[in-house]
A = this chain, B = another copy of it.
């Protein structure tokens, strides 16, 4: 039970007591025994995997899948289903086994047996993957699942506030998240937990598989904090289950209590025994390895499965789950379909919008919201991003735009924007909002921002388009990188607006000036890293990002003002690179990108003064360029005829594919005003032209070979 100092918030009329009689309770013992033996067998067959946590969590799974969660195995994508997130993703067999037992059709016993096999088309990879039915989100990197769950619970709150009407609770699902000791130590989870408490997400339940064991042994080798007091301090209800390995009725009661929470998320501290029933029960050895033949036999015996037969699931166990899961699921779905139909009749506009969002489509006229033209005066591309994104966000209900505490710097707020907040939040400075709001203050929590955005995106592909924003360097990128990666891995459409890119950031100095980060994102599969050079290309970048339904995108923008070019073309951004200025018999191609386009253009003009013929290519996105035909790429680069010199204030790594030489950064940056920082590092058209001229001479005299990439 929670410490008395903690104030709980429940609607007691909705809670059930632990004494509730559960139908089927006479089967619990058999169900738990079967589950545990099955897990031991599955890990034993290929002698690898994670059995212990899943075995310890069995009773929690029974409480969830047999008694609590809303789902339909025959309709795994039902919109209003409860969402289940396994943040401790290494225990994936837990989820796979319950999907199998409750009747998810693809999850046959043969499929279950592919865990850790060499089968190329397994639905049972070593961590849950979103592309498989019944899996809501890919997990594995610890702690991120908790942040994803916060995003999923926000999505429900937001959609409910937007579309529910009296008598029509069209969206009212709950998000259930499992966590182990590890996730609760990770910073990303701690950030997200703080936000969930702040947002009063009473539809979120975090179930702690508290087995007090991590890889290094007892969890208290590295962790002795008071987790219950910490969760309470973060604004959560705290419940406790002392025998989490067996007390199904107690867990069901706690889950129901959690669902009745009025205005707090709920944390259930379930004490369990890792690898229960094995010779290494309660020990770190039960975590990540098979038990060995001998122990598996002993587990069989202990749990009353005397025969040598492996993977034995009595019919009674299937029946226990499926006599409930299948008909209940059908009923839930058909009642909801009926409700939806009535809703659409009574509220045709809202209904049409909701249906379109459920289908994942943008409104047909989305492109009209992008300005046709932009001011001709010099404009920082972070402002350009605002000019493009604000009207999109204002007019398209799917947009949920947030920032890690940099609203004044990132230009992502639009006139009349409403914050996503609990409506009863009272701030000292009077900022208010409600759950229908679409502007998100993430606080100074970049990693959680990216991971929560993934949760928003994964609620139902396309229903919500999350836009995150912060400085490129340490705010968005380095801190948020694991979250950005997980979005790309899951092919989630998330748009990250990264401002203050390159050394142009200025006085904030080398901690804030990215040098190496573009190399990371250009190498990251499924991720479009786009550096537009002006407003027009920024418009093109957003067009690409909105049409790329299976990519995450980073739109990388400048702090400082940039010239606007007549040559820039929004519709060419999608090719990754295009000719900015053609020149017959050119000797050099100057490649420019983003904020440093100006140096490429000016240096070209300087070079022409020396009688050197120069063409100019704008190169906003390497990954998009790689998707073009060889003919297109050859035409743009003309490598047989002209040598190419790229100008970018980042590490050159990766540009070698497109250029013979670079004007780039070899060190970290420096705290100087932006213009001075550029000058300090040689980004100056006269200096660049001089270097390129020398380079051409060295090439002529074979002091340098054309295929030796040179950082000038």
| Contacts from A to B (Cβ < 8 Å) | 5, 46, 48-49, 89-90, 116-118, 120, 122, 125-127, 129, 138-143, 181-183, 185-191, 194-195, 197-198, 212, 214-230, 232-235, 283-284, 403, 405-409, 419, 421, 425, 427-429, 431, 441-448, 474, 478-479, 481-482, 485-486, 488-489, 506-512, 515-517, 519-526, 630, 633-634, 639-640, 650-651, 653-654, 656-657, 665-668, 670-673, 676, 680, 705-709
Contacts and interface: CB of A to CB of B under 8 A. Distances in A.
Contact of A230 (B214, B230, B515, B651): B230
B639 A138 contact: no
> At the interface, is chain A mostly helix, strand, loop or mixed?
loop
Contacts of A431: 217-218, 221
A217 B405 CA distance: 9
A250 B570 CA distance: 61
B516 A525 contact: yes
A479 B141 contact: yes
B520 A516 contact: yes
A650 B522 CA distance: 13
Interface centre among A138, A409, A525, A650 (most CB of B within 10 A): A525
Contacts of A48: 507
B511 A222 contact: no
A189 B223 CA distance: 15
A265 to B, nearest CB: 12
Contacts of A138: 511
B657 A218 contact: no
A560 B222 CA distance: 28
A667 to B, nearest CB: 5
A228 B5 CA distance: 14
Contact of A198 (B223, B234, B481): B223
Most B CB contacts (10 A, CB to CB) among A182, A406, A431, A445 go to A445
Given A186-B444, A187-B447, A214-B405, A515 B507 contact: no
A215 B442 contact: no
A127 B185 contact: no
B441 A222 contact: yes
Contact of A525 (B5, B214, B668): B668
A604 B688 CA distance: 42
Contact of A672 (B120, B232, B474, B516): B120
B516 A523 contact: yes
Nearest to A640: B705
A217 B235 CA distance: 21
A673 B227 CA distance: 37
Contacts of A520: 516-517, 519-520, 523
A408 B216 CA distance: 7
B187 A186 contact: yes
Given A141-B474, A141-B479, A185-B194, 14 more contacts: A118-B672, A126-B671, A127-B509, A188-B479, A198-B223, A218-B428, A225-B233, A228-B233, A489-B511, A515-B523, A515-B525, A516-B521, A639-B705, A656-B656
